[in-house]
Structure 1
Amino acid sequence: MRIAVVGLFHETNTFAPGRTDIEAFRSEWVQGNEAYLSRYSNTRTSMGGVLDGLQDEEVEISCGLHTGATPSGMISGEDAETLLNAVIDSIDHTADGIIAVLHGAMVAEGLPDMEGEFLRRVRDQVGVTMPIAATLDLHANISQEMVQHANILVGFDTYPHIDAYERAVEAVKLLVRTVRCDIHPVMALSKPGMLIVPQVMLTDEEGPMKELMDRAFAIEDDPSVLNVSVIGGFPYSDVPDAGLAFIVTTNDDLSLAQRYADELKQMAWDRRARFVYTAYPAEEAVAKAMSISVGPVILVEGSDNVGGGSPADATHLLKHLTNPPRKSLIVICDIEASLEAHRIGVGAVFEAEIGGKSDKLHGEPVGVKGIVRTLFDGRYTHIGPYMTGQWADMGKSAVIEAGLLSIVLTEKRTAPWDPGHINSVGLRAEDFHAIVVKSAIAWKTAFGHVCQYIVPVDTPGCCGSNLAHFQYEQLQRPIYPFDDI
């Protein structure tokens, strides 16, 4: 048996400034068995899980193109076609099955459902008998077309996402069983008509999302059920299919799959009022953080969530931290400022306006003055529980010490998914009283082990926690919380 392996991964924030071009995908452009094995072997990534799963099954691997980019704005229509063609053309059509590493919330101009379009085009090329499996992020926006053109869809079970490896292994094993005709997977999709923010999708603490996950795991105990995926959705993609969804896969029993999917849909709807997130305005949030006696206190600036496509240069909190009473830390992406710090060198006095350069939504530049303490090339490898072994690149980076405030300036947007986010520049999280994280939940894989208190922040941004601030034009209505139906 031979299985073809490909990947196309991007979480698209249609409210984010700018466009995502094909160059953004070049840092994760891996094609062919040798390159794929070199990059992803012994990593706890989806790609590493695909490799290990296939090797465990003693199945031959045929690696096409895997490419991905950091979450960001809309992809141009032309670049989307280039990406789709490059990945699809790389598929080994003589293989016995296909496994694809997808996100589920990829959007381009004229293509609101890129994963659905990808699967449709693959199906058109390989025919109806070729088994196709795909892994999906928990923040996917699921379309009927995705379900129609795949045989198996397996979503992450955790947020923060620490099970990408395990879900890939699971998808591979289901695919191999399908190829061997041991099972005949059928999928049912059910959606309650709910749009929820990432901050309420936490799966490891008591709350409505965990209750849905627990029920999903119980359903999977049914011998006829192959997989249940609870998909939180991605509210920052203005597309018709955005929102909470449930996919139940059974062994040739569609009515059972639909019954279970509809049960989860009703459970979610009954809990809709509990999917509420409240946060503090910027100035109040900073004051609260400083009043807490024991740190580190994590200021969660979810509106500038890099993992959701934000520019990482919001200054709504920074402007209240320029002269903090206690040691504080913030990471700001500013190409000009980071390059200037590298130009003047360690020990030099740095004085400039930083951040707030992407658009007006994320604030105005803020003037800071401090000493350049550290310079770094920005490259590190994940050592934490999220995608262990994955490469990260902040670009040219610098630590500016301005009184009790430490600022990490980066040339490239990088999400705080791993301790290396600050360890790599010689800083320790436990040395700070207040830490600003440009993330919703995934920061816990980097700072959760030292966090003593969380202060959620409500500020403007393309990943804001108050969905009423967004002007949706493509979203299918009615949908909660805009329409209580």
Structure 2
Amino acid sequence: MKTKRIAIAGFQHETNCFGVTKAGLPEFEMADSWPGMLRGEKVLLETEGMNLPVAGFAAAAQAAGIEVVPILWCSAEPSAHVTDHAFETICGMLFNGIRDAGHIDGVYLDLHGAMVTESLADGEGELLRLIRELVGPGTPVVASLDLHANISAQMVEYTDYLSVFRTYPHLDMAETGARCVPVLQQLLAGETLYKVFQPVPYLIPLHAQHTGSAPFDEIYQLPVRFERQEILAEIALGFTAADFPDTGPSCLAYSATAQKAAAAAEEIVNLFMSREADLDCSMLSLEETVSTCRERREKPVVLADVQDNAGAGGTSDTTGLLAALIEGGVKSVLMGLFHDPECAMQAHEAGEGAQIELAIGAKSNLAGHVPVKAEFEVLALGDGTCRYTGEMYGGGVATLGKTAALRLVGHEADIDLVVTSIRNQCLDRAHFTHIGLNPTRYSVICVKSTTHFRADFGPIAGDIFAVSSLGDFLCDLKKIPYTRITRRLPNTAIVNRNSPRAGPRFL
């Protein structure tokens, strides 16, 4: 039997519609948390072994005797809208690559699912429509999506199967890509999959989406159970910083019969409805945070600056939490990552061991933020090449640009922090250890991250708290100036952590 040829490509962006800076073509070409733009065989060579969907798909496909035809893979750090120029240019490269590939039997795409461009609310929906137009109705098209995907009916319509991450932190990215392979084989063999898409009617803030906590530790058991019934179930929790009608959670079910798929989708949504009150949307105020830091613990307390997460389009340079800890005189604190190229450059110019006056953070001109002006000692300097060691990104390399470890001097507070020249979500202990700082030696660890940090910092934490410090990625959904969403806010209050926690479409 002739070997099947599958074109593979990736185009990743998670769009914060309320962000400050847009993602142009240079942002997709540069390396940051992930590799820079890859074309042709480099797609395979430079992602091999990584926890990325495209790597998982390629390895599983090759093991199954499928020939993969790599076209292009790129991503940009989450930000405001993708520029029309970037979207059109990258789509053009992708489409030309497929045309030039010769005969192909199918297409696999590594997408995020929450891309908004300057002109398109549903970036992936349009991309998939154009792909379907290019390859025709008879060619299988499968794609993997992020758990935070805002899935639209158009995305479902133009694909034969969508797989979605099942963990947050995302530990199963490669596994999710690999899950597309047996489905693709079924489709290539002529089998029919009926699909049902059903939205969940309420939004869920990202800091409440941890799949190791209630209610998602139960909800994400359903796909595993359904597999034993020959039903493929996929669940997305949505990305709340996108402002368009499809923003929010949803589920997909695929089966050999429409009835089985519909029943599975209905069961998933019913479980979402019955467990809504179990969502933990709590965040500590800055005052409560300082008080919490004074409590004695055997292990570090980890504070998540959830609303200033570069991985959700935040600026990663807000100073509210830093200022509160200084004012509160909190001891033994480690903080990162501050995106501040200006301070990183000043530290490099001064050299290790120097004491210099710096104005840390607040370079993005967000309303209500001012730099923290103080004297700092330059503890260490680096070029920003950071090899991840944690489970989520282990084996990959972060590109941080000129980086500096700094120590606050002349204050009662005892604080070390890391500043970088390229935005990067602080989700791996290597962000600190690569420049000589050991997180386990501190009493308080502050990370500019929403949930991904839990994979690597959770094992060393005495406790974990989300902190309500103003940033460009609001987790208090009542404060987001939505104009286009169609789903309601969750029926659970955003309260102190110690307080009580408050029809199918066939395509």
Tell me, in whole angstroms, the C-alpha distance in 2 between the residues paired with 1:330 and 1:371. 15
Which amino acid is 1:460 matched to?
Answer: L
SS of alignment partner, residue 46 of structure 2: helix
Asked if 1 retains the 8 angstrom alpha-carbon contact of 2:9 and 2:108, the reply is yes
Matches within 5 A, 1:359-370: 359-361=365-367, 363-370=369-376
DSSP-derived class of the 1:317 partner: helix
Partner Cα distance (1:290, 1:38) in 2 = 49
Q: Is structure 2 residue 303 aligned with structure 1 residue 299?
A: yes
Aligned to 1:286: 290
Distance 1:441 1:465 in 2: 12
Q: 1:49-448 residue pairs with structure 2 within 5 A?
A: 49-91=56-98, 92=101, 94-181=103-190, 183-205=191-213, 207-223=214-230, 225=231, 227-251=232-256, 253-322=257-326, 324-331=329-336, 332-361=338-367, 363-403=369-409, 404-448=414-458
1:401 deviation in Å?
Answer: 1.3
Is the Cα contact below 8 Å between 1:290 and 1:434 reproduced in 2?
no
SS of equivalent residue, structure 1 residue 408: strand
Kindly state the Cα deviation for residue 242 of structure 1 after the two structures are TM-superposed.
0.5
Deviation track 1:192-233 (CA, whole Å, cap 9, x = no partner) reads: 21110112211123x11222111232122202x1x2111100
AA matched with 1:13: N
CA distance in structure 2 between the partners assigned to 1:381 and 1:87 by the alignment: 29
Distance 2:168 2:431 in 1: 19
Give me the whole-angstrom Cα distance separating, in 2, the residues matched to 1:438 and 1:245. 27
Counterpart AA for 1:81: E
Give the counterpart letter for 2:92 in structure 1: N
| 8 Å CA contact retained: 1:93, 1:126 | no
Query: 8 Å contact 2:293–2:330 — kept in the other structure?
Result: no
Q: What is the RMSD of the two structures over their aligned residues, measured on CA atoms?
A: 1.7
In 2, Cα distance between the equivalents of 1:469 and 1:110?
Answer: 25
Q: 1:471 aligns with which of 481, 503, 506?
A: 481
Conserved? CA contact 2:204–2:489, under 8 Å: no
Q: CA deviation at 1:439?
A: 1.1
2:14–2:113 CA contact under 8 A, matched in 1: yes
Q: Deviations over 1:177-196 (max 9, x none)?
A: 32133x32232111121110
**Structure 1 gap ranges (5+):** none
1:360 match: secondary structure: coil
Aligned residues between the structures: 476
> Residues 156 and 386 of structure 1: is their aligned pair in 2 closer, same or farther, counting only changes over 3 Å?
same
- CA separation in 2, counterparts of 1:455 and 1:61? 44
What's the offset of the Cα at 1:87? 2.2
Structure 2 residue runs of 5 or longer lacking an equivalent are: 31-35, 493-507
Q: Which amino acid aligns with 1:468?
A: K
Secondary structure of 2:359's aligned partner: strand
- Superposed CA offset, 1:25-62 (max 9, x none): 112210112x1232012223212212211111111111
Segment drifting more, 212-221 vs 356-365? 356-365
User: Deviation at 1:284?
Assistant: 2.2
- Aligned residue for 2:284, secondary structure, equals coil
Provide, for residues 266-301 of structure 1, a one-character-per-residue CA deviation record: whole Å limited to 9, x for no partner. 221222222241111123212212223333111111
Letter in 2 for 1:443: F
The alpha-carbon distance between structure 1 residues 429 and 129, as it changes in their structure 2 partners (threshold 3 A), is: same
Quick check: 2:165–2:173 contact (8 Å CA) kept in 1? Answer: yes
Contact residue 165 and residue 387 of structure 1 kept, 8 A:
no
Three-state SS of the structure 2 residue aligned to 1:280 is coil
**Alpha-carbon distance between aligned partners in 1 of 2:418 and 2:280, rounded to the nearest angstrom:** 32
Q: 1:387 to 1:187 in 2, by over 3 A?
A: farther
SS at match of 1:465: coil
* Paired position in structure 2 for 1:47: 54
Equivalent-residue separation in structure 2 for 1:82 and 1:297 (angstroms): 45
Deviation at 1:385, TM superposition (A): 1.0
Q: Within the alignment, does 1:7 sit opposite 2:10 as a pair? A: yes
> Which deviates more, 20-29 or 117-126?
20-29
Q: Choose 123-132 or 188-197, whichever is displaced more.
A: 188-197
| Amino acid in the other structure paired with 1:260 | A
Q: Distance in 1 between matches of 2:287 and 2:400?
A: 28
Q: 1:406 to 1:480 in 2, by over 3 A?
A: closer
Q: Residue type matched to 1:446 in 2? A: D
Measure how far apart 1:478 and its partner are. 5.2
Q: Is the 8 A contact 1:322 1:368 kept in 2?
A: no
Residues 203 and 487 in structure 2, CA contact (< 8 A), matched pair in contact too: no
Q: What residue number does 1:461 align with?
A: 471
Deviation digits for residues 302-360 of structure 1 (CA, Å, limit 9, x no counterpart):
01112111010011101022364421011211111111111111111121111112132
Deviation at 1:13?
A: 0.6
Offset, 1:392: 0.9
Q: CA deviation at 1:163?
A: 0.4
Whole-angstrom distance in 2 between the partners of 1:383 and 1:478: 39
In the other structure, the counterpart of 2:505 is none
**1:261, distance to aligned residue in structure 2 (A):** 0.7
The residue type paired with residue 445 of structure 2 is I
Task: Sort the Cα spacing of 1:109 and 1:156 in 2 relative to 1 into closer, same or farther, 3 A.
Answer: same
SS in 2 for 1:449: helix
Amino acid at match of 1:52: A
Could you say if the C-alpha distance between residues 340 and 302 of structure 1 is closer, same or farther in structure 2, counting changes exceeding 3 Å?
same
